[in-house]
Structures are given as C-alpha cells and as structure tokens.
Structure 1
C-alpha cells in the first residue's frame, strides 16, 4: 500500500512540474527541430499547430504532439522551451528495408506481399506497427476461412543500418480443421441419419476418397447453407413451425477437429386444406389445374407452393405478361393442423420487347446470334420463345453459356429490353504438330478448323494428317444459313489412304478420292432432314497374304470401284446444348445407298440416339445407343468388306482394342460385320479438385455391344460388356478423351486394352 502511494506521488509531482513549465504562456520567437534524418523540417513545421509570433501554452502542447504523431512519421515526439524558443525533438520511424515471409504454403508469397503493399507495408514505406498488426490479423482471418483454425502469425522487427528495419512474418498454418462429428438433437419425425444426408458438411461418406473429399472441411458459409437446407427439408414436409434452436461449434484443443451440434424444434406437421386461386381470368381452367402442385389433404410443401407459383407465372409469361406477381397467403388452422392457401395473381400489363441487346460477342457478328432468336423485337414478350432462343444459342459449338436478362424500360411499364449475354468459347483452331495414338500410331498433323469462320457462324476445315494407318487430306465448308429460312449447304473434297492391317482389321489398303455436297432442311424447331450426294473413286491394294473373304471379293468385283453414294437423314434434337448437354434427346435415322451408275450396290440403315437427364446441377445421366444394318444388292451378298461395321475401342466398347470385336477372318483378325449394336450408360460429373473448370468432365460408364455377320446372326450371348472411368477435356487443340475400362465378360481370343485415349471426342 505504501508503494502504491509513493508511485502516485511521483507521477503527480511530474505532472505538476510539467504544468509549471508551461503555466506561463509565452510568445514563440523561434522554432527549432532536432532528430530529423529523412523527413524535411518544412514537413514538421507544416503539421505543427504553432507559428512564430503566436502565444503557446500547455493546452497547445498536447495538440501539437498529437498532430505530429498522427502523421505516422515519428515514433516519439517531445516539446521543450528554451527561453522564447520552442524546441521540437522527434524520433523518426524506420523505413522497411526487407520483408521476409516464411511458413506459408497455402497462400503464395507474392500474393501476401501485394496485400501488404496495398496496406502501405512494403519496401520503402515507413514502418507502421498498427498497420502491420492489422494485416497480421487479416492474414489469420484468410486462413480461418480455409479451415486452418490452428493458424498463428508472428511478426518480428529487426533494426538495420540507416534507420531501416527488417520485417519477419512467420506463418504457422497448422492443419485443416476436419469435422469429427455432426450431431442433430431434438428430431423425432426423421432419423438423424436422414437429416445428416441433407447437409453438405459432415464426415466423409462411405464410398468417398478421403483425400479428395471436402465434406469434412469446416466453413462457416457452408454451415449457414446447411441450416437453410434443414429448414427447407422440414418445410417441404409440412413442419411450418420448425426452428433451429441453437448451433454449437467446438474445436478440439489442438484446433484440428470440429464438433457440431444442431438443436432443432420440429413442431407439428400441417396438411393442405383449401387452395383458392384468384385473378386468373387470362388463364384457362386447364392451365390453372396443370399449374397446381398443391392438393387438398396432402402434406404441405413449401417446394410445391413455389412450383405452383412458378407455373402460373410461366403460363402468363407465354402470353406476354413478363412482370406478373403471384402472392401466397396461408391461413393456418392450429386446431386442425391444416393450411388454407390463397393465391392472388396480378398479371400486370401485357409486355412487348422494345430492344434486344447482344453482349459478349467479341468474335461473332451480331446477326449470327440474332438469327437464332425466336423472341423478336417489337413483339409480345413470350417466355417460351425466350427459353427456346436460349437453347438454340447454347447449341452453337462456339457458345459456352448464355444468360438472358430482362430490363424494364423506364417510364414505360409495358415494355422491356432483353440483354442476351453470350460467353464464347474458342472455335478457331490452328494445329501443327506430331503425336501418338493407340489406334493410329505416329501422327503428323496440320489442321485449320473454324466452327465460326470470320465470326460468320460458317464452318471451315482444312486438314492434312499422316499416321501409320491413315493419310488424309480434307477441305470442308458448311453454311448453316445458306438461306434466311435456315436451309444449310455444305461441301467437302477428300483424299484418303487407309491401311486396315495397321488397325488390326485385315491385310489390305484402300485409296479413295471423292467429293460431296450436303443440304439440310429444318422441319420444326427440333426436327430436320438432310441429304448428302457425292462421287467417289476407290482403289484396293491387297497385302501379301490377304484374308480369304477379301481375296474372294476382289476376284469377283475387281480392285477399283466408282461409287455415287446418297445419304438421307432425319434428326430429332431437343438437347439444351450440343456440348455437355444435361437435358433432352437426340435421335438420328439415316439410310445410305448407291445411286445408279455405281459399281457396287448396297444399302446401310442406321439409328443413333442419346438421352440426357440432369441428376443435380453438376451431375448428368446419359444413355446412348447405335444400331446399324447393311444389305448387299445385285450380286453382292453383303456389304463390301471396306464398308462393314466394326466395334471395340474408345468410340464404342471401351476396354477392348480398337475394331477388335466381332467375326474373325481366315487370318484370325476382326473383319467387321453387316450388323452393329452398341450402347452406353454414363454418369458425367465435375472432376474432383477442378469442379469450377467447365471444360473438363469425368464419367463413370458401362458399355455394351458387338458386330455380327448379319442381323440374322445376332446373338445376345455375344454382346461384350465393360465398365470404367473416363475424362473429357475440351483442350485448345480439340476435345481430348481418355478412359480406363475393364471388360466384364471377355472371352478367349478377345483383345483387351484398359487405357485408351483419343483427340476429337464426339458428343
């Protein structure tokens, strides 16, 4: 107690002495500044609230010291009086000479240095300890958002010569905090396991790969989303009074483990009573009934209510009412536990489109996109036509994504402007180089491919390549809008040298030269027909020991053939995009035959179909099938040996060597057949650790198929099956596909090949 009294006495004496020194006001006759090194004296005098000729006392002293401290230039400021001279003594803050950052692996050093510099903590800046401390806290906060709850950032300062300082920032990132347990208490209607399955956060699922799973990485924003998911889960099942009572998040002492406890109060379940809809004069009774997903006596569902409102809005949008409002008023009967619902429809004024703005088309002419639009300017707004326009744009091979936004016209409530925002993908490719393919051997390639030639939407391809089995020269051109009505026209000229023996088919080679012209006619938004007519000259070069069926064919029909092929096709396509679709179907029927004047008369029939269904926003299920049959005519018993179907490889039944399935010739090689059946069931999903990269997709698949001598020889027991994983990457040089598959029912003599790849994957 005596020591405390003595301390207060000393402090009081010092304060009294200080006040006595300044008690008498004096007029400043001169100002002297000492301790300056880099800071100019004029800078101090400019910030100092004292001037020669002015009176100065203790009240001004505190303000003067505070003003100089606030400049951030000094670590210490003292004022003294010598007669009528005001003496200012300062200690300058050191400048930062070096910054060393260590221990950081998750955040790059360059990124941290840029953040420090933005906060005026960089080389050459004055050392501001407050700013440095703030940046230290912000750095720790960044690590916390990444789940590093054990992070620790230490800062030390070392003096250097010439009043400079070295700043050392040592980061101890610690491990990522992993969720050890998520517990839900208070639930009675649903099991804890069912509720946990609704959450994004939790312990890794049974079949997941722990190193690739992010489910157990705790993040506050994910927790908020999970709580909302729980709320939606209960409301969609009639629990209107459901509430989350509390959420407790605790860390283990080492800050590496997270335990989450969510306490809920379910409340009672409610069913739907009456459902009344008002203000629907512009809709038919059938449209109203089709819109309603709410049924009297069923359990109330918030999701069903929103779907009903959305459906009503969609029907009104098809009639041009772009800004309809559907209000929902629930009337809860607590005694009977029912909800009577009233929907009030305000259609607003009928709207028409004033202007359509195309944005994001950096490479493509405006008219190329406008010709795909089904919603027109100066016409009534139609939601159905707007959606159709979006789908047509997304089907273009040079379009990655399309967004269409609606903007009301100021001062005119019955008009809107549409903004069509296009995200374009590169469609103009130039490729020169060499490579290797399992099916083609050594590749030498020179190609120019433009799906959007000069921004006109026309397609141009010039391709010269050389491999062990194929030598190609191709020039192809296609104009999808040869006429304004959408008639397309294209042509191609080609030369091909093909060595079948290099692809393990049979001992022969084929040289062909030809040209064709193609026209396609749209029948409707989803249907089109096309025909391709051409002329071709083919020459067969037999190997040293050709298979018997080839020798017999060439002995009978010769080695050179003139052909006039004609192909008719019908396509029904409802896919929402051409690359990586997640909804819709595509079916193609075709017949190819030889026109009179051809040396060989035969006909080929084919069906090629695909079905796509979104499982989630990022996961898609697809089912594909191909059936083809060929028939010989005249003196041909079947298809010419060089026109037969083949199977096996990355484009048909993966896990088996390219073109290795089906009947064998006298040499034991696959000779192809007149009938083909292949099918694929596939689930596509984002690639782990690269889910934001839209150009890469992974898949899990099951393939099945084979070829047969004729359709009469079809035997289901001969169908081959395989299963595996695949990756498709839309690379700058074209689609790149790789797969790993294992045959499920391979038989003796089958040629297996698990790892396969290809450039130029088909969709």
Structure 2
C-alpha cells in the first residue's frame, strides 16, 4: 500500500530536530544553495552612476537592447533551467525584442468635451419613479389605552398614521407608520410618569370580498405610574432661607410628569430673579427610578449666583439717549433689591419711544458690595438707532359727524432727546383743518409730556359753523399700556380765536360772531381699573375744570366743569357689565353769550347712542340744536367676548339743558347692539343704535364706527 506523503515541519513551532534535518537535507540537495547569484562588486559596477544633484534631469532609457549589449550574467549554478510553461493565449517571446505597439485609438487621442455639454441630470431609477396612477390602499387608525390618560388627542395630533390621511402606497408603509406610533405612544406615557408603558401595533386585514379598509391598531398599556420618592436640591444659602425649595412647586408623591417638572424648574428660573438673584442657573435634573417601588429619586442642582441690588446704568452702541436721559426711565432706585420685572419695564419703556431698531437691557456683575450683603449689579443698555420719521392715519364715521380722515407726519427726535414735530391734517365731510405740534416726551420724568400746539380748524355741524384758530400748551402725566398709574393729571392753557355762526334769539335769525377765549384747563384722573384700553374690572373717576374768559361784546369770565365715573364688573370670564355716569355744568355766563363751540351737547358715539351727533338739548326755531350749559349721561353695556370677537348690547340715556345744572327728568333713551373685534392695540367698535323716545327730526337708526370701547 502506498504511504501518504509527508513534508518536513517548518516554522517557529517546528521541532529543532526537524528544522536541522530540513537544513541538512537542503544542503545535501543544493550544495551551492547559500552561494551568491551575482557577486556584490559585480552588481555595484553594473549600476548607473548617480548624481548628487536631485534636480538633474533623468537619463533616457534605451528603447531596445541587443543581446550583445547586455552585460553578461554570471551563473553560479550548473543546474539546467526548467522551461517556462506557456499558455495557449501567450505568444512566444523572442529574446531581445519587444512586440510592436498597438495602434492608438483616434477617439482616445481626441480632446475631451467641455463639462457644460454633458447632461448632469441623474438617471431615474425604478425606485425613484412615482406613478400617479399607482393604486393606493386605504386604512383606518385606532388607538387603544390612551383615553384614560387623556392622551388620545395629543397622540392624534402627532401620529404618523393620522398624518398619512388614511392612505398609503402599500401595507409595508402602513406598518412602518404604525411602528413610529408605537414609539410615540410610549413617549407620551412616559411624559406622564408611566415609565413601564408599552405599545404594540397590529394590522387587521379586511375580510375577503368586502369593501372594508385595512385597520391599523396601536394598543398602549401604561403600567404602574412612577412618583417622586425624594427631592434633593443641590444649592447654596439664600435670603430668605429655603427660597429655592419654596419656589420649586414639587413634593414627594407627585407623579413624575415631564410637563409638571419642567414647569416647576422654570418657576425657579422665573421667581428667583424677581427676588434678588439675576444670575440663577438651573442645572440638569437627575431622576433615579426604582422598579421595585415605582418611585424616583429627584436631584436638581441650582446655582443661585450672588444676591444683588440695582447699581448704575451703562450704555453702548448708537448714542440715541445719553446716560442722563436713560436715568429718566427706571422705576427703581440704586441700592434697591434686584427685580427682573423692573428691568423688563425699563426695556419696554425704551421700546415705546419708537426710536430704536433694537434695544436690550441686561444685568452686569460689578463685584462691588451693595446694601444688606448684596452685590451691586449695573444694567447695560445696548442701543441700536431706528427710524425717527413715521406716517400714520385713522378714519371713522358717525351719524351726524360724517366721515373723518386724519393723517400725520411725525419726526420723533427732531429736538433730542425725544423732541418731536407732528404735522397733522384732518379732512372729512364736516371737518377740515391742520395742526402743528411740538412735543417733548419723558420731559424730566417718565411719562410726563410737554406739548405746544397750533391749529386751524373748520367745523360745519347743525349746531354751529365755526372757523377756529388755537394756540395751546399742555403738561400731562399720563398712563400708558406699560405703566397704568392710579393717579394722572394734565393742565395747560388755550388761546382761541373763533368766528362762529349761531342762532340769535333776540334778532330771530342766524348770525356770525367773533369770540376770543382764554382758558386754563386742568384734569385729574383716579384709575383703579385693570386695563387702560379694555378694562374688565375696577373703576375710574375723572374731574375736568377749565376757568375761562370770553371776549365778545365785553369780557365774561366763567368756568366749565365735568365729572365722570365708570365701573366694570366681570360676571364671568366672558361677560363684563360696564357702566358710566357723567355730568357737566358751566358757571358764570349766559348760554347765548357763550361761544357755541364751548357749550355742552349730547348725542353721538361717545354720548347717547341712537341720536345724531350733538342733537340732544335745546333747539332753535329752525330745528337745529343750540347746546346748553349742563349735561348728564348714563350708559350700561353687557360686553360678551368669544375669542377675538364680541357682542355688546347697550342702553344709553341723557340730555343737555339750558340751565346751569342738569335735570333728572326729560331724559332721552337709546338702545342698540355692537360688535367688537379685539386687536393688540384695542378693540375695533361698530355700534348700531336706535332712539327709544325720538323727537321730530331724529333718525331711526344711527351707526358708529371707531377704535376703542365707548368708555
């Protein structure tokens, strides 16, 4: 029997005896096995000479070398060389010769075409092709297990299945959407503290031969709810002690709800800057869940930073306001405990000037000690100049007043700081005029305004026809939407020259008269309402007094007075009952000696609705109102609001009287209904009213369109 062949062991693991045997065997079969094929000296002499210049050009290589030119090869072995086997595809190689080069393809030798000539639109593969006529499958979505957690609506709003609209290319796409909704259901359950919650999705195929749809079902199992087992706050000492714990509205036993915990942490970031800690930083929470007890150990690091007090104002950027004028705006004093609400109030007041394209106010640490162990914090005001010029306009309509359009050009900083020039034009069916106003806002005190006005106005109403020139000045301390004040005031002067046409009872006809009037009007307003433009609770009391003197066929001093009270009572979140009472009186002058434009008139959108503008009060023999020396008005509204809209039924009463004091009788009544559209600058108002006890000449319906509530 033949023995299988063996090979000597080689490698590092071979036995030494085997290695030695192999070496000795090789020596026995090849006695010159270790001899050099070419001696080293001969090899080195055959090398071409090398130059030390690395930049020298390379020597050309010979294209062909004859056998005679080749150096002789030393052969140290006499053993015959085995012939090299050739494949059938190989051509015999003649020693000393190379095959002829193949002919060059002309297309390869041609220059390349520019890239711009190529079509770079990618090829459309079968996967990219969308066939609009490809059939789609319809499916229904059903979610189970989330209703008890009140998560179904939130799930439907975020669901991939719902987003698909009940249509998909195939069942695989429906299945992929269902898997996404599984993860969604789990996330929603975890957000409420159900950390063991699971969700699975299944597809129910419709029965064969029916028109039923494929049904995708997502089933959620919430499991046990996790609650807070312990609460640990990693924070330093505060004043008062335990401030962070007090402002973190969490306690042991509360569910680990994501929204609840995030809201509690946000409360810390909100409340601490209101109580002297402007640099508070809430770190990353850590909640360690215990599967055995279904409780979590809650840890929250809070870096309160230094307790701080207000320091000085600094500024950088475009110098719209100097530091001196900036110090007019703050509602705090240096050394007062820091409150971020006062910082925001300062920023909003600067924005309200309309002179900045961008403005920011941020606290800056100083390292300087303040009172009560606080650190002084300066406020850095970064100013960026905005446009100073603007155009504005308004329009309105009222029965008896007609159409009125007003346009104004304003340069808000012509006389820095905040010295404005305002040019106004008024046009309408019964009013035309123009005015120029110079106004200094925040004049030495925030929200104190000093203004000087010159105007010319033509008015043509049933009560009078007047052409009036006025020069007036006024100093006022006013409320704003940013800062509604409980007590405001205004006082000033008026110089009026007017030419007016009115009915002369002594002459028995209409005639024109010239009047010169000097007035010192003043106003005080006590405001306890909750909103400047759209109050829903509280009350307001206003008193106007204007000592005046008239020059027309003699000098006559007199005084005009008006007192007004409004109140607002919220029945619920949607309904507010609003009421108003107003009474006015003019002392020291007869009615007919008083310029018609200075008398009291009732009726119109801001008075007793349902009656024409200025049509309440005494009439002349021609049927036109002549006004009176006293007036009283009453109104009640039921303001019902739903979203940005509202419906307001109302009832008004009032009249104007010839005597000095108003009377309780002889009232005229009006009623109607209004619509409101609420905007961020106040409600837009449309009222339709009718007089309940009209006189001859009163219309049946009156329409009023304006901005703002009636009162």
Normalising by structure 1, we get a TM-score of 0.52
Q: 1:494 aligns with which of 455, 460, 463?
A: 455
- CA drift of 1:610 comes to 9.8
Deviations 1:29-66 (A, max 9, x none): xxxxxxxxxxxxxxxxxxxxxxxx9999xxxxxxxxxx
Q: Partner residue of 1:709?
A: 654
Matched, 1:89 2:110: yes
Asked whether the equivalents of residues 494 and 513 of structure 1 are also in contact (C-alpha less than 8 Å), the reply is: yes
Q: Give the match for residue 564 of structure 1.
A: 519
1:513 correspondence with 2:473: no
Q: How far does the alpha carbon of each residue in 1:726-760 deviate from its partner, in whole angstroms, 9 at most, with x for none?
A: 779x9xxxx9x977x57599979542549x578x9
- Answer whether contact 1:459 1:477 (CA < 8 A) is retained: yes
C-alpha deviation, 1:469, in angstroms = 0.9
Which of these two proteins has the greater Rg computed from alpha carbons? 2
Q: How far apart are the structure 2 equivalents of 1:607 and 1:752?
A: 25
Q: 1:600-749 counterparts in 2 under 5 A?
A: 600-606=558-564, 627=580, 629-634=582-587, 642-644=599-601, 646-648=603-605, 659=613, 674-675=632-633, 677=635, 699-705=644-650, 707-709=652-654, 718-723=670-675, 725=677, 743=688
CA contact (8 A) 1:93 1:127 kept: no
The alpha-carbon distance between structure 1 residues 719 and 459, as it changes in their structure 2 partners (threshold 3 A), is farther
Is 1:187 equivalent to 2:146 in the alignment?
A: yes
Q: Secondary structure at the match of 1:391?
A: helix
The whole-number CA distance in structure 2 between the counterparts of 1:129 and 1:322 is 56
Question: Distance between the aligned counterparts of 2:152 and 2:667, measured in 1?
Answer: 46
Deviation per residue, 1:287-337 (Å, 9 max, x gap): 557524235555554444334333334454342451433564445565565
Matched position secondary structure for 2:225? coil
In the comparison of the two structures, how many residue pairs are matched?
A: 550
Note the C-alpha offset of 1:462: 1.8
Q: For residues 326 and 675 of structure 1, do their structure 2 counterparts lie closer, same or farther at Cα, with a shift above 3 Å needed?
A: farther
- Out of 364, 367, 386, the residue aligned to residue 343 of structure 2 is 386
Equivalent residue of 1:674, what SS? strand
Could you say if the C-alpha distance between residues 702 and 345 of structure 1 is closer, same or farther in structure 2, counting changes exceeding 3 Å? same
Tell me, yes or no, if structure 1 residue 129 matches structure 2 residue 121: yes
**Residue in structure 2 matching 1:305, options 233, 236, 261:** 261
CA distance in structure 1 between the aligned counterparts of 2:277 and 2:152, rounded to whole angstroms: 47
SS of residue matched to 2:239: coil
Matches of 1:321 and 1:573, distance apart in 2: 31
Relative to structure 1, is the Cα distance of residues 381 and 307 closer, same or farther in structure 2, using a 3 angstrom cutoff? same
Contact persistence 2:475–2:491 (CA under 8 A): yes
Q: Decide whether the 8 Å contact of 1:647 with 1:658 is kept in 2.
A: yes
Kindly report which structure 2 residues correspond to 1:14-53, keeping only aligned pairs within 5 A, or say none: none
Question: For structure 1, which segment, 324-333 or 588-597, has the greater mean C-alpha deviation from structure 2 after superposition?
Answer: 324-333
374-383 or 394-403: bigger deviation = 374-383
- 1:347 equivalent among 304, 329, 334: 304
The 3 A distance-change label for structure 1 pair 93 and 644 is: same
Distance 1:682 1:563 in 2: 44
Report the TM-score, using the length of structure 2 for normalisation.
Answer: 0.55
> 1:432-471 residue pairs with structure 2 within 5 A?
447-453=408-414, 456-471=417-432
The offset of 1:669, in angstroms, is: 8.7
Q: 1:561 to 1:442 in 2, by over 3 A?
A: same
2:494 to 531, 535, 553: 535
CA contact (8 A) 1:452 1:459 kept: yes
Quote the Cα distance in structure 2 between the aligned partners of 1:513 and 1:380.
52
SS in 1 for 2:563: strand
User: Residues 279-428 of structure 1 correspond to what in structure 2 (within 5 A)?
Assistant: 279=235, 281-285=237-241, 287-288=243-244, 291-295=247-251, 299-317=255-273, 318-325=275-282, 328-330=285-287, 332=289, 337-339=294-296, 341-349=298-306, 371-372=328-329, 382-397=339-354, 428=389
Query: Distance between the aligned counterparts of 2:567 and 2:413, measured in 1?
Result: 26
Question: How far apart, in 1, do the equivalents of 2:383 and 2:342 lie?
Answer: 17
1:246-291 Cα deviation digits (max 9, x unpaired): 8999xxxxxxxx9998665534334455555553521325855752
Q: Are 2:689 and 2:702, in contact at CA under 8 Å, matched by a contact in 1?
A: no
Aligned to 1:114: none
Tell me the equivalent position of 1:239: 193
Q: Is the 8 A contact 1:662 1:670 kept in 2?
A: no
Q: CA RMSD in A?
A: 6.8
User: SS of the residue aligned with 2:148?
Assistant: coil
| Pick aligned residue for 1:751 from 701, 705, 708 | 701
Deviation at 1:513, TM superposition (A): 3.3
Distance in 2 (alpha carbons) for counterparts of 1:358 and 1:559:
56
